[in-house]
A and B are shown apart, each in its own frame.
Chain A
Amino acid sequence: MHAPLFHFSRHREDIEREVVSRVAGGLSHHAGADPQRSYQLVLNDAAYHEIHRLERARGREAERLAGWQKLARRIGRMDAAELRDEVERLCWYYVRDVVGHFDPRVYRFATSVMPVGLSALFNTTDLAHGVGFSGRAGVLRDLSKRIGVEGEVDLVRSLARKGTLVLVPTHSSNLDSIVLGWSLMHAGLPPVTYGAGKNLFTNKLVGYFMRNLGAYRVDRRLRHVLYKEVLKCYSQVLLERGYHSLFFPGGTRSRSGRVEQKLKLGLLGSALAAFSERAQRGDDRPIYVVPVTINYPLVLEAETLIGDHLKEAGQARYIIDDDEFSRIARVTQYAVRVMALSTTMVIRYGQPLDVFGNAVGPDGTSRGPDGTVLDPRRYLLRDKQAVADPARDGEYTRQLGEAVGRAFLRETVVLPTQLLGWMLFERERRMAPHLDLFALLRTTSGDRHDLAELCADGERVLGRLRQLENDGRVRLEPTLRAGPVDEVFEAALSTYEMYHVRAACERAEEAVLVRDPKLLYYYGNRLEPWAPELRDVLA
């Protein structure tokens, strides 16, 4: 496959130059027509935010404080040319910090080693669990048995040849980009470039692979306009040049376990901006937005994420750098145990959309709700001429965000752990309707739920979920789709026991014992969008 990313290093400098030129040019109008005033504002904003941040920083970071303080004192005395030079210098600095790399040799190495490495881990687990060898085929079981890749994969593969892909997955774990990268390779899809938090590069080995497999660095601590413009422009230029990309539109990992519905429109907007820019240059290649759901039976960082969600100071920990992902032993333990699960992780590729949120047909054309073939360039016209209208485009992007949010719900694959989590937590709520969420979380550990009663309720909820799947409103994992409810719960219970320090719940003879209500709440939250309808059948 000759994806554009394979030729990235050849164009890298050119891309950097274009980003610097466009950002510096664009910022000259940041505060109206006067470039001097605009640059002053941009530099003051950057200096203010950086000084504020660095005053609290330690080590080598803190050494940069003096430089920013000096710049802050000079801004008022700089003439227009000096201001522009300073803005350009900072743009160069930031773009070089951001820009990723792609080394085909590393890609070939990683793609050959990753499945073997993960399968080897699985093999070890087989031994530990006494599964044993069953002939040669059993020695290295296929990783694809543990990670299901489904949905519109064939269509996405064909669209990758016709235009540029923007994958927009749900985000639950720092492992997302790794498993998604594996799914692309497994499905014969091209590699993608994506922005990853700078904190993920701190591990030198992981950082080396990420950097050489197309990831670029996003420093979420930097809040000033200049940096944000560099990032936005870089991702847009990559798309304009045809690099398949990946954005997590939720912005950060879902803390609550819910499927994201509040999406970051800035990132989605760069797809429309790139399409518009291409159209103005007469470049007709389409851009396709592909919603993807990543569905884990167990989430590596579940304990930290739900803990953070429940803290009032959740926002303060927007960047978590001390979670399970930062502890290599925990990641290994997770990988080993997930590989041994009887239930699979599912990566589901949804119906591709154009940048205006319209569905895309099998031939790559945009389609209206009635199947009419649309020319997406017409959304940019006024009186038959392409016209720039940022307010219009902002609303288009908001509508695209809604379409992606709806796709996330439609393409969510409900797994046994999530169903059992929701059922148990719902029973707790019904048993103590006077308790608020926090009281429930504090007091329900140790509660026992009769398994027969749970199965009777589960049968009804499962029936409604199957109806919802028939209506195309959600997806079910095969056990939920066809299996008896006791098997579903059995699968959930054995999965829960596999990884977390304290299992969310466990079997106790003919009952289920609640062990960690927070985890039940976290996994059950995945079903919250459909909860009113599920509660109806329990009433």
Chain B
Amino acid sequence: MSRWTIIDATPWGLALARRLAAGGHEVQLLMGSRSPGRLPKRVSRQPWTAAPQILDQVERVVLATRIAGLEARLEQLASCLQGDHRLLTVAPGLTPGHHFRASEAVLRLTAVKQLAVLAGAAEPTALRRKEPVALVVGSAYPTWATELQGVLASKTIRVYTSEDPIGVELSNVLSAVLAVGMGAARDLDLGPATVATELTRAVAEIDRLVVGLGGRANTAYGLAGLGALTTQLFAGQGDAIEAGTSLARGEIEAARAHGELVEAARTLSERAAAQRVRAPMVDAVNGLFEGRLGAAEALAALMSRAVRSERG
């Protein structure tokens, strides 16, 4: 059994703390003063002041901090993180400061190199309800990825590995941005064929962007891309779907309250343009957030584009 530190009692932090404790591992949960609710026996709650001592002893770390506070948290803990630490990040999205992916922020702000990212077609609540779900661990460090696969898997959680952490993270954030578009289309009361068209073209676009921005081909078709996108679509709720619904109804301010999605859409649209990668759907979502386009107008613009090869 091994010792783990979880940074921040977010829903993912708590879900993973419970999963690790259920597997017999010892978990120290670094968190603020807010009550996390009832914790399993093997999970001990620790204050931030204990971080230097705990991190000096424990090599395995889950960074469960939400993306909005990730840069600040890493700056706070950078001096406690050394080369033998192995980190798992779970936050989707891009940081508000420098628009880093979570693993990118860790590499830029700390000395940690051995990183993995967790994504997939499941929310922390699904883990708690013990529904059969699947997750993907993306890491360029196979030994670390395999260890994570071993400790996180259970009778109801299948954990796959991917050697493309960049692709996994990008697929995850792009699926959230494009789910906004799916949410908007849903409110236009379109038929299943239109939704299916949108879904398949969205995944093709994620694939193209992942490759253009440093990931590998086909990662988008896995759990972090197609899986995460369909989860949001079938759930019919969540931040992205809500933002999309607001946009379809012309309630731009309500949609823009989902600031992380607004920033992600804008940043990814700009990065796609800088890399000369076609990203019409991300551009359309960005245009909706900026109020430059209405939902019907965006759909019409997408339909009037020149047609190409399906995988082109």
Q: A residues engaging B (CB < 8 A)?
A: 356, 358, 366, 368-370, 372, 374-384, 389, 391-392, 395-396, 398-399, 532
- The B81-113 residues at the A interface (CB cut-off 8 A) are 81-84, 107-111, 113
Tally of chain B residues near chain A (CB < 8 A)? 22
Central interface residue in A366, A370, A377, A378, by most chain B CB within 10 Å: A370
| A20 to B: closest C-beta gap in Å | 32
Stretch at the interface among B26-34, B138-146, B255-263, B304-312: B138-146
> Roughly how many angstroms separate A519 CA and B121 CA in the complex, as a whole number?
53
Contacts of A532 in B (CB 8 A): 274
- Whether A379 and B84, one on each chain, are in contact in the complex, defined by CB atoms closer than 8 angstroms, is yes
Contacts of B111 in A (CB 8 A): 358, 366, 368-369, 372, 374
- Whether A370 and B79, one on each chain, are in contact in the complex, defined by CB atoms closer than 8 angstroms, is yes
Inter-chain pairs besides A383-B2, A392-B114, 4 sampled, C-beta below 8 Å: A370-B75, A378-B83, A382-B59, A383-B59
B78 at the A interface (CB under 8 A): yes
> Roughly how many angstroms separate A380 CA and B109 CA in the complex, as a whole number?
20
Q: Kindly report which residue of chain A lies nearest to residue B78, judged by CB atoms.
A: A370
Q: B residues engaging A (CB < 8 A)?
A: 2, 59, 75, 78-79, 81-84, 107-111, 113-114, 140-144, 274
- Whether A382 and B140, one on each chain, are in contact in the complex, defined by CB atoms closer than 8 angstroms, is no
Q: Known A369-B111, A391-B141, A392-B114; judge A382-B84 contact (CB<8 A).
A: yes
- Whether B59 and A356, one on each chain, are in contact in the complex, defined by CB atoms closer than 8 angstroms, is no
Contacts of A395 in B (CB 8 A): 113, 140-141
| B16 to A: closest C-beta gap in Å | 20
Q: Kindly report which residue of chain A lies nearest to residue B81, judged by CB atoms.
A: A368
- Whether B84 and A374, one on each chain, are in contact in the complex, defined by CB atoms closer than 8 angstroms, is no
Q: Known A369-B78, A370-B79, A374-B82; judge A379-B113 contact (CB<8 A).
A: yes
| A354 to B: closest C-beta gap in Å | 10
> Roughly how many angstroms separate A174 CA and B111 CA in the complex, as a whole number?
37
> Roughly how many angstroms separate A379 CA and B81 CA in the complex, as a whole number?
11
- Whether A378 and B84, one on each chain, are in contact in the complex, defined by CB atoms closer than 8 angstroms, is yes
> Roughly how many angstroms separate A396 CA and B111 CA in the complex, as a whole number?
12
Q: Kindly report which residue of chain B lies nearest to residue A370, judged by CB atoms.
A: B78
> Roughly how many angstroms separate A330 CA and B57 CA in the complex, as a whole number?
63
- Whether A375 and B83, one on each chain, are in contact in the complex, defined by CB atoms closer than 8 angstroms, is yes
Central interface residue in A358, A380, A392, A399, by most chain B CB within 10 Å: A392
Central interface residue in A356, A369, A377, A399, by most chain B CB within 10 Å: A369
> Roughly how many angstroms separate A372 CA and B143 CA in the complex, as a whole number?
27
- Whether B109 and A376, one on each chain, are in contact in the complex, defined by CB atoms closer than 8 angstroms, is no
- Whether A378 and B109, one on each chain, are in contact in the complex, defined by CB atoms closer than 8 angstroms, is no
24 CB contacts below 8 A, A to B, read A356-B83, A366-B111, A369-B108, A369-B110, A369-B111, A370-B75, A370-B78, A370-B110, A372-B78, A372-B79, A372-B81, A374-B82, A378-B83, A378-B84, A379-B84, A379-B113, A382-B143, A383-B2, A383-B59, A384-B84, A389-B143, A391-B142, A392-B144, A395-B141
> Roughly how many angstroms separate A195 CA and B107 CA in the complex, as a whole number?
33
> Roughly how many angstroms separate A408 CA and B285 CA in the complex, as a whole number?
37
